[in-house]
């Protein structure tokens, strides 16, 4: 038998410059393990791994290999309680950085480790207060009405890379990708949302032009984004594995589990969810597995942030350990949680301090889109507007990610989520002038709030209907490039770009300071100021109603402030698609007795700068 590797350089496979590789796998129920390697013509050769004495790991080094060598483990399970020793178990490496496909027979690849260090783009992650996020789904971002021809309706990292300048032109400085880890798109006929990972360390093979290129092409995408000033945030699924084709299920032949869920070493005594089996985070090896996965993306791929899905479905002690380890090791990285401890169906513990004990930099404000829809429907307008604007008590407003127009959760529609709609569709569709005005209002307000603004792909072009990455016959709800920039979409694109650039040009909008100065329950108007210590002062007036005031006939309270003000933005301006709207273009307006008389359009956001 080979001796185990003496090199403490991680788990999985690692190719060395001398043309050999080290393999290491966690398999506490094994009595023996071989690694089988295939050469370019399909011939295979087996090499035994050895147990690292006193540990549940098996390893060997000095095994001949080259870049893109395919491999699998053959695990012999020791006899014992809950162990299936009746046959050898062929397993893909749980930490393979790329796999052929999502099936059980899909092999891992030995990748070139120099990809992570050679000719990389230098980039500095933005300060947390400077993130303006564009959320997108790789597999459905391109491919509809953009003259791309492909055999499956799933776009790739390369095709997304070619569209990055479009996103940057809208004034965003960060992209947040829905999950890119391998999630069975290849065996399901096309890209799903990505929230059912069969592999955590390997990216979706359909997102690559060919599976063995996935690591290189993801790195190229990240570097291309960085080269034009776009930070990259990835979405990680640590709360469960896939319902089907779960790579970790009974991994080493052990079948331990609870309540009819005999998942074995990666899942035993984990938290069962409707989405798939939770991980056994009470085990040190499983916590390290998840922590190393996050490190892979931050350290090696060099992404700028991570979003952790449904963090309430993970043991908070494990979350705290993982997050605080990452915060210490990568203090400049933006670590975001979807955290909903009030959901009784998924929560595993009592609510915790998301920023203190759990260690997140930010959380999604999951209430924000629903209350925005209520506001636009005339429900509790002033109360909900004031709550959306907030009291400016948090000196770190980037603690909240705000997405008033909706994230994928509000826009994705299928049998399990029958209420998914783009914001324009919720108010009559893109042909409806009110729907377009309300969509403009929502994003303009979002861009002026304290906190981190986020927009889901397509919203910037008044895309209506709903989003779904599946294509079935003539039913196609991927991003539609024919409509996104048409006569209705282009004005919204311009407004998104202009108000985003206002956020860049006025540091007051990225500061923690602000104050509500005016509320009008009768007419559904709220105004608030934003300022910074350098003297940048803005007044934002939000009108969520049908009324309209011309000839500077509406008085806005300034809470005693005076001076001269000039309108620099109006979401109802004709250039953005506003019709028969009023405004104050270029006017210098003087305050009188702490009030400012303005013209005010219906369903609008007006922004004034103090001169």
| 49-77 confidence digits (pLDDT tens) | 999 999 999 999 999 999 999 999 999 99
pLDDT tens digits along 72-108: 999 999 999 999 999 999 999 999 999 999 888 899 9
CA-to-CA distance for 595 and 593, rounded, in angstroms? 6
- Under 8 Å CB-to-CB from 527, ≥6 apart: which residues? 516, 517, 518, 539, 540, 541, 542, 556, 557, 558
Per-residue pLDDT, 188: 65
Question: Catalytic pick from 100, 186, 338, 520?
Answer: 338
How high is the pLDDT of residue 386?
98
Q: Is residue 136 in some structural domain?
A: yes
Residue that is written with structure tokens 């981190």 in the block:
452
Dump pLDDT digits (tens) for 440-460.
999 999 999 999 999 999 999
pLDDT cut 70: percent of the chain above it: 99
Q: What is the pLDDT of residue 274?
A: 87
- Residue 1, pLDDT > 60, answer no
Mean pLDDT of 112-137: 97
How would residue 40 be classed by pLDDT, with cut points 50, 70 and 90?
Answer: confident
In a domain, residue 305? The reply is yes
Q: What is the pLDDT of residue 151?
A: 67
**Is there a single domain that holds both residue 315 and residue 398?**
yes
Residue 559 among the catalytic residues: no
- For position 415, what pLDDT does the model report? 87
| Same domain (yes/no): 529, 599 | yes
What's the pLDDT score for residue 577? 97
Domain shared by 86 and 176, yes or no: no
- The pLDDT score that the predictor gives to residue 148 is 86
Same domain, 360 and 461: yes
Rg, the chain, Cα only: 26
CATH code (residue 562)? 2.60.40.1180
Q: Can you give the residue range of the structural domain that contains 26?
A: 12-91
Question: Which tens digits make up the pLDDT trace of 248-280?
Answer: 999 999 999 988 899 999 999 998 888 899 999
CA angle 169, 175, 179 (to 5 degrees): 145
Task: Give the model's pLDDT for residue 530.
Answer: 98
Residues 526, 588, single domain; the answer is yes
Query: Where does 100-176 have alpha helices with state H?
Result: 138-141, 157-169
**Domain boundary at 508, 536, 557, which?**
508
Q: Is the pLDDT of residue 413 over 60?
A: yes
0.95 exceeded by pTM = yes
Q: Which residue has 């299936």 as its token pair?
A: 84
Same domain, 63 and 175: no
pLDDT of 189 higher than 70: no
Mean pLDDT for 217-231 is 98
**Which one of 187-191, 343-347, 596-600 scores highest in mean pLDDT?**
596-600
From 61, 91, 121, give the residue that closes a domain: 91
The whole-number pLDDT of residue 566 equals: 98
For residues 500 and 527, state if they share a domain: no
* pLDDT above 80 (res 2): no
Task: Judge whether 251 lies within some domain.
Answer: no
Average predicted confidence (pLDDT) for the chain: 96
**Pair (296, 224) in one structural domain:** yes
Judge contact between 190 and 139, C-beta under 8 A: yes
DSSP 211: G
Share of the chain above pLDDT 90, in %: 91
- Predicted confidence at residue 473, as pLDDT, reads 80
Q: Is residue 1 part of a domain?
A: no
Rounded (5°) CA angle 178-183-186: 115
Query: Tell me, what CATH number does 294's domain have?
Result: 3.20.20.80
Residues 158 and 305 in one domain: yes
* Domain assignment present for 109: no
Gap between the Cα atoms of 417 and 573, Å rounded: 35
User: What is the C-alpha to C-alpha distance for residues 44 and 36, in angstroms, rounded to an integer?
Assistant: 6
Among 186-190, 269-273, 516-520, 586-590, the range scoring the smallest mean pLDDT is 186-190
- Nearest CA-CA partner of 298 in 267, 344, 253, 329: 329
**Active site (annotated) includes residue 309:** yes
In a domain, 356, yes or no: yes
Q: Is 433 a member of any domain?
A: yes
CATH number of the domain bearing residue 54: 2.60.40.10
Are both 521 and 536 inside the same structural domain? Answer: yes
Instruction: Evaluate the CA torsion angle 498, 504, 507, 513 in order and state its sign.
Output: positive
Asked if 268 and 197 count as a contact pair (C-beta separation under 8 A), the reply is no
Number of domains in the chain: 3
241 and 212 both lie in a single domain: yes
pLDDT tens-digit series, residues 10-26: 999 999 999 999 999 99
Task: From the candidates 61, 93, 176, 309, give the one annotated as an active-site residue.
Answer: 309
Instruction: State mean pLDDT over 451-470.
Output: 96
Asked if residue 121 belongs to a domain, the reply is no
pLDDT for the residue 222: 98
pLDDT tens across 568-599, in order? 999 999 999 998 889 999 899 999 999 999 99
State the average pLDDT over residues 105-134.
97
Query: In terms of domains, do 300 and 196 share one?
Result: yes
Last residue of a domain, one of 477, 508, 539: 508
């Amino acid at each position: 038998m080979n001796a185990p590797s003496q090199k403490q350089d991680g788990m999985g496979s690692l190719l060395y410059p001398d043309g050999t590789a080290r393999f290491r796998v966690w398999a506490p129920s094994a009595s023996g393990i071989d690694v089988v390697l295939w050469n370019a013509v399909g011939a295979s050769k087996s090499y035994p791994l050895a147990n690292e004495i006193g540990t549940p790991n098996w390893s060997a080094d000095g095994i001949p290999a080259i870049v893109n060598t395919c491999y699998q483990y053959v695990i012999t399970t020791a006899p014992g309680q809950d162990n299936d020793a009746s046959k050898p178990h062929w397993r893909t490496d749980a930490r393979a950085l790329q796999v052929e496909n999502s099936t059980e027979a899909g092999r891992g690849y030995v990748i070139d480790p120099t990809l992570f260090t050679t000719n990389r783009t230098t980039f500095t992650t933005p300060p947390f207060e400077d993130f303006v996020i564009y959320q997108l789904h790789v597999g459905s971002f391109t491919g509809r009405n953009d003259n791309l021809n492909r055999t499956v309706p799933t776009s790739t990292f390369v095709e997304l890379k070619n569209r990055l300048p479009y996103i940057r032109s809208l004034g965003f400085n960060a992209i947040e990708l829905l999950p890119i880890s391998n999630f069975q798109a290849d065996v399901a006929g096309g890209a799903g949302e990505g929230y059912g990972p069969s592999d955590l360390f390997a990216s979706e093979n359909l997102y690559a032009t060919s599976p063995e290129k996935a690591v290189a092409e993801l790195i190229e995408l990240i570097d291309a984004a960085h080269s034009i000033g776009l930070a990259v945030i990835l979405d990680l699924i640590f709360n469960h594995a896939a319902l089907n084709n779960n790579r970790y299920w009974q991994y080493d032949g052990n079948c331990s589990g609870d309540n009819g869920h005999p998942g074995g070493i990666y899942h035993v005594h984990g938290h069962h969810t409707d989405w798939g089996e939770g991980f056994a985070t009470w085990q040190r090896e499983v916590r390290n597995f998840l922590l190393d996965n996050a490190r892979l993306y931050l350290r090696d791929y060099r992404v700028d942030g991570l979003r952790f899905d449904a963090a309430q479905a993970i043991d908070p002690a494990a979350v705290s350990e993982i997050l605080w380890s990452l915060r210490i090791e990568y203090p400049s990285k933006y670590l975001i949680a979807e955290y909903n401890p009030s959901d009784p169906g998924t929560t595993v513990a009592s609510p915790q301090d998301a920023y203190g004990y759990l260690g997140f930099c930010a959380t999604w404000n999951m209430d924000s889109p629903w209350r925005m829809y209520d506001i636009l429907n005339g429900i509790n307008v002033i109360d909900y507007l004031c709550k959306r604007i907030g009291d400016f008590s948090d000196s770190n407003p980037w603690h909240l990610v705000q997405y008033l127009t909706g994230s994928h959760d509000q826009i994705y529609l299928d049998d399990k989520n029958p209420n998914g709609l783009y914001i324009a569709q919720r108010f009559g569709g893109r042909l409806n002038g009110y729907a377009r005005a309300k969509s403009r209002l929502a994003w303009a307000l979002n861009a002026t709030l304290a906190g981190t603004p986020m927009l889901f792909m397509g919203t910037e072009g008044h895309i209506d209907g709903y989003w779904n990455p599946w294509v079935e016959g003539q039913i196609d709800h991927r991003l539609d490039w024919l409509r996104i920039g048409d006569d209705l979409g282009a004005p919204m694109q311009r407004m998104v770009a202009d108000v985003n650039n206002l956020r860049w040009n006025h540091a007051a909008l990225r500061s923690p300071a602000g104050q509500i100065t005016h509320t009008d329950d009768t007419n559904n108007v709220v105004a608030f100021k934003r300022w910074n210590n350098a003297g940048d002062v803005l007044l934002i007036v939000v009108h969520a109603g049908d009324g309209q005031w011309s000839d500077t006939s509406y008085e806005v309270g300034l809470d005693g402030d005076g001076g001269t003000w000039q309108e620099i933005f109006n979401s109802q301006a004709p250039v953005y698609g506003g019709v028969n709207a009023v405004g104050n273009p270029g006017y210098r307006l003087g305050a009188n007795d702490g009030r400012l008389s303005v013209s005010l359009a219906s369903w609008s956001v007006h922004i004034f700068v103090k001169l």
